[in-house]
Amino acid sequence: MTVTEMPAGGVTISAAAELSGLSVDTLRYYEKEGLTLHRPERSSSGQRRYTEDNVRWLGTLVMLRKTGMPIRDIKRFVDLYRIEGSEPQRLAILQAHRVHVLEDLNEVQTHLDAINRKIDYYEEKVLNA
């Protein structure tokens, strides 16, 4: 199932976990920490029902976490998202995070360059042996 194929009544927490790539425990943690925009509705039996909007928002959270954004910054971003007119503050959070990602990328590139120099060294040794 994809997000666009979700039933009108939503999906269970297990299905939402599968669709988002998160674990059920992580979904519960995100709810507890207030990272979800809207708490999932509950079925008559008390089961969480995640809507398409819920799952799409989880995709945003996944993307931010995969970029290395700390939970505290994601929480601040989510809190601001709930406030109309907070776009400048949300932009500032993303811009600051971009600086950190670029610094990390530069460091990884430096490491890759060092590895490539070693590979070149050993390839030259092997070819000339």
60 closest CA partner among 35, 82, 32:
35
pLDDT in tens, 1-14: 666 677 777 899 99
125 closest CA partner among 75, 117, 32:
117
Residue 129 Cα to chain centre, angstroms: 48
Confidence of residue 69 (pLDDT cuts 50, 70, 90): very high
Across the chain, what does the average pLDDT equal? 92
Q: Which CATH fold would you assign to the domain 1-66?
A: Multidrug-efflux Transporter Regulator; Chain: A; Domain 2 (1.10.1660)
- Give the pLDDT score at 4: 61
Ramachandran assignment for 69, one of left (phi > 0), alpha (psi -120 to 50 degrees), beta (any other): beta
- Give the pLDDT score at 2: 64
Confidence of residue 100 (pLDDT cuts 50, 70, 90): very high
- 126 versus 46: the higher-pLDDT residue is 126
Q: How many CA atoms lie within 13 A of 89 on its CB side?
A: 14
**Which of 15-19, 109-113, 124-128 shows the lowest per-residue confidence on average (mean pLDDT)?**
124-128
- Give the pLDDT score at 1: 60
